[in-house]
Structure 1
């Protein structure tokens, strides 16, 4: 009963637009919003990135991932990294910082481990979504990368709240469905996620692939299925059976196999940069 009351509190907070964000997340969120300002001068952007050492390090790492390292030269400065990856991908890295902050404040060892696994899953999904978008679905690849980064934001939020509310996530059937969607929608709103991306994410649970795959949601579905680290969040029994078309597309697709082989280095280097 107490757990249901806790969940009810979180859902009602989400419905009222009052999700509780820790101070560290608010700081990263402000940086993300500043970077989204089209009038933000390049020198201001570089100063803001330099002011966040983790963001600076990850941006440099991303700029040296195979997909961006076209010239063969290794970038060693934040200025060079920002110029190479561009503002859109820098914005994605700032969003990644926001999402990761939720896991970093968890004290419970089991929940902290689950949050780390969820981040590993997120990084692989983002890298694979970038590949699938370019090679299979034709979706804008940078948008797919961004969507992959933020698609589990609601899960990170629930894990962070479970740290203060023991047992909150013990019975997934209580928070899956409408409760999960309400929380995810408010997370998307609070992080100022564009509507097209938010819609693809909130409708992802229970989504079914209808070949040929197209659109952002299908891109994320395929990337999640391909991710070498599965999500530690609850997956309903029979989910794979209900999505037989996705299983067939992933397991019996020569084109996809070739794409994955050709893009293995790109996906591996990008996910490594995100996990750094």
Structure 2
């Protein structure tokens, strides 16, 4: 009964938009708001990045990651890093930092291990989505990368709350359905995720693929299915069959190869 009451409280808080965020993400959220402003000046963005040492370090690290450093030429300043990755990808990084913070503050060893697995899954899905969008679904690759980074925000949030409320996630039936949808939707609002991306993410759970695979949701579904690290929070309904969609084994192997280095470098660059 106590666990059910705890879970009901979390869902009620999410429904009211009262999600509990770590105080350490304030700098990232401020940067997100600035980047969402179409009149935002480069110098203002750089000042906000430099105001938080971890954010500054991660910005430079991301600019030197394989996904953004095709030439192999390193950058060593925040200004050069921001110019290389661009506002759109910097926005993605700040959202990823927020998501990672939920896992970073977990104390329980088992839950922390799940959070680490969930982050590895997230990094692979983001990298694969970037490749799948280019090669298969004719979607915008940068949007797919961003969606992959934030698509498990609700899962990270639940893991962080389970650290405060032991046994919260023992029964998947409590949180696999409508409750998870509510929490995911509110996380998307809190992170100011654009509506098309939010809709694709919220509709993932229990979704099926229909030929031909098109659009952002299908891109994410395929990336999640191909990811070599599974989500520790996935149910059977979260693994749609790819039979008839990816019969070209050579294409699958190519996408896995191309995404592997990107996933590793992105995971290291965004580690907080």
TM-score, reference length from structure 2: 0.91
CA distance in 2 between counterparts of 1:250 and 1:158 reads: 33
Q: CA deviation at 1:55?
A: 2.4
Partner of 1:235: 235
Is 1:201 the equivalent of 2:197? no
Q: CA deviation at 1:18?
A: 1.5
Q: CA deviation at 1:239?
A: 5.3
Contact residue 197 and residue 216 of structure 2 kept, 8 A? yes
Q: How many pairs were matched up?
A: 272
Contact residue 29 and residue 191 of structure 2 kept, 8 A? yes
Q: CA deviation at 1:89?
A: 0.3
Q: CA deviation at 1:80?
A: 1.0
Partner of 2:252: 256
CA distance in 2 between counterparts of 1:97 and 1:207 reads: 27
CA distance in 1 between counterparts of 2:263 and 2:159 reads: 27
Deviation string, structure 1 residues 116-138 (Cα, Å, up to 9, x no partner): 11111111111111111112111
CA distance in 1 between counterparts of 2:27 and 2:61 reads: 22
Is 1:273 the equivalent of 2:269? yes
SS at 1:206 equivalent: coil
Partner of 1:92: 92
Partner of 1:44: 44
Contact residue 106 and residue 163 of structure 2 kept, 8 A? yes
Q: CA deviation at 1:158?
A: 0.5
SS at 1:112 equivalent: helix
Q: CA deviation at 1:20?
A: 1.8
How large is the Cα RMSD of the aligned pairs? 2.1
Moved more, 84-93 or 265-274: 265-274
TM-score, reference length from structure 1: 0.90
SS at 1:249 equivalent: coil
Contact residue 226 and residue 250 of structure 1 kept, 8 A? no
CA distance in 2 between counterparts of 1:23 and 1:264 reads: 33
Partner of 1:183: 183
* Counterparts in 2 of 1:103 and 1:269: CA distance versus 1, 3 Å: closer
Stretches of structure 2 lacking an aligned partner (at least 5 in a row): none
* Counterparts in 2 of 1:93 and 1:127: CA distance versus 1, 3 Å: same
